Copies of this chain bind each other. A is one copy, B any other.
Amino acid sequence: MPTRRIGPRELTRLLGAWPSASAPAYAALAGRIRLLVLDGRLPVGVRLPPERELAASLGVSRTTVSAAFDVLRDGGHAVSRQGSGTWTSLPTAGAPVPTWAPEPAPDGVLDLAHAAPSAPPHLHAAYSAALEDLPRHLPGTGYDYRGLPALRARLAARFTERGLATTAEQVLVTSGALQAVRLGLTLAVGAGDRVVVEQPGYPNGLDVVTDLGGRPVPVPVDPRSGSWDVDSLVAATRQTRPTAAYLVPEFQNPTGSLMPAPVRQLVAALLDRSGTVAVVDETLVELALDDVVTPPPLATFAGRTPVVTVGSASKIAWGGLRVGWLRSDATTVSRLAALRSRQDLASPVLEQLALLHLLDRLDDLREHRVGELRRGRDLLLGLLADQLPDWTVRTPAGGQVLWCGLPTPTSGALAQATADLGVRLTPGSRFAADGGLESWVRLPYTLPPDVLEQAVPLVARAWAAVAGTPAGRRRASTRGPSLDDDAAYVV
């Protein structure tokens, strides 16, 4: 059964102008909807508009829509039931793996869709040490709803070190950063509420906003200057009265931008004044690759409106260690602890003990990870300059990804073409709240050098094919990136 619905106008906008290519209209329409499902812009379980309404909105015949729905159903990308209409779905086991779905890439597929590193050598030792600590926890029930007191104290100390005075009561341990983001947003986001998001922004964060019924209000982050558009934020807080904002001030995903201290102060003041709860995702904060000074946490500029600061061990350590945390005022943390206990009760004890040991070696860990990422970044920049010279890329000072500008709005087609060559890629539109950003693609440099060296030629080959199509030859007009004229930012 569908869990939510999309109207004919909204779907028409998401579809954009689909290729009037060789394929018949129904096949093109089906292909385009399939792509939206696969790259996550149309989540699974969304009820599609009635055929007649969609046909009217698209200016095609109802037969075309009806035939497109048949194709989607046959491929497992839609399901219909009498009385409930037709909703999006994903094919079950055995069917081709979508480019964006909760599945690991199958063997042989090069996964450039995720920016997730392999584990550092320190991890095994941390688990071993944790296992020695475990026995004194075994007589208990194993449920520590806010997280182990020692871990909360350690996380609080790290915030304090970074200039944000924090006590253990202000910290909640979570099942990874995404759960913490969701909890923070749940505080303030109900159906129809406006939520400030970054454009481009972190796809999983955008998904949470829409899952909660929030309506994203995109505030641009300029990939060229790395600047948050403060004027746009001023207008957004004034005009839309957002209840929450989701921000990634450190090495923003995907642009790699670092928000300067004065901008943090300004943003915090703006949000406080409009009563907008800020959820600040610091997942990437330890990943400064160049000699930049990371400003104090945005929450140091908090006023009376709650700021929820989210962190995680998944980037500095490993995603397979599923521990994140959040930090706010003690009252807000108590409320979030109660909410969280109704979702999955508590975090695993051993994972928390392992994190505690990892935090004791934070400097080593950071040095290891930063060295690895710096090498990956420089390698990937070199490969792109060499093999994809018409792409424009700014060198990010931190984080894990390059945000690459294409000369034409064809990243959806590119993702499709690389998929055929065994490379999974996330198109730019996944990073947009409103389905734009087709002229961008995100490439992670978290992968081992040999994988990057293997992948880029395949991406280049796919790009050559896309660039040879009519859409690929058409130059970007208004929406495409305009970095070409700024040599400083072109690799």
Contacts and interface: CB of A to CB of B under 8 A. Distances in A.
Number of copies: 2
Interface size class of A (residues with CB under 8 A): 35 or more
Contact of A131 (B116, B127, B143, B340): B127
A435 interface: no
A350 B114 contact: no
A123 interface: yes
A169 B91 CA distance: 12
Interface in A103-158: 103-104, 111, 114, 116-119, 123-124, 127-128, 131, 134-135, 137-146
Nearest to A175: B344
B141 A103 contact: no
A478 interface: no
B116 A141 contact: yes
A143 B319 contact: yes
A142 B123 CA distance: 12
Given A340-B102, A342-B207, A320 B3 contact: no
Contacts of A103: 145-146, 337
Interface string A307-327: 000000010001111110000
B124 A131 contact: yes
Nearest to A333: B92
Contacts of A337: 102-103
A346 interface: yes
A211 interface: yes
Contacts of A102: 145-146, 337-338, 340-341
Contacts of A179: 343-344
Contacts of A318: 138, 142
Nearest to A141: B116
A379 interface: no
Contact of A345 (B119, B134, B178, B349): B178
Q: Which of A119, A141, A346, A350 has the most CB of B within 10 A?
A: A141
A118 B131 contact: no
A55 interface: no
Interface of A: 1, 3, 43-45, 79, 89-93, 101-104, 111, 114, 116-119, 123-124, 127-128, 131, 134-135, 137-146, 169, 174-176, 178-179, 182, 186-188, 190, 204, 207-208, 211, 314, 318-323, 330-331, 334-335, 337-351, 354
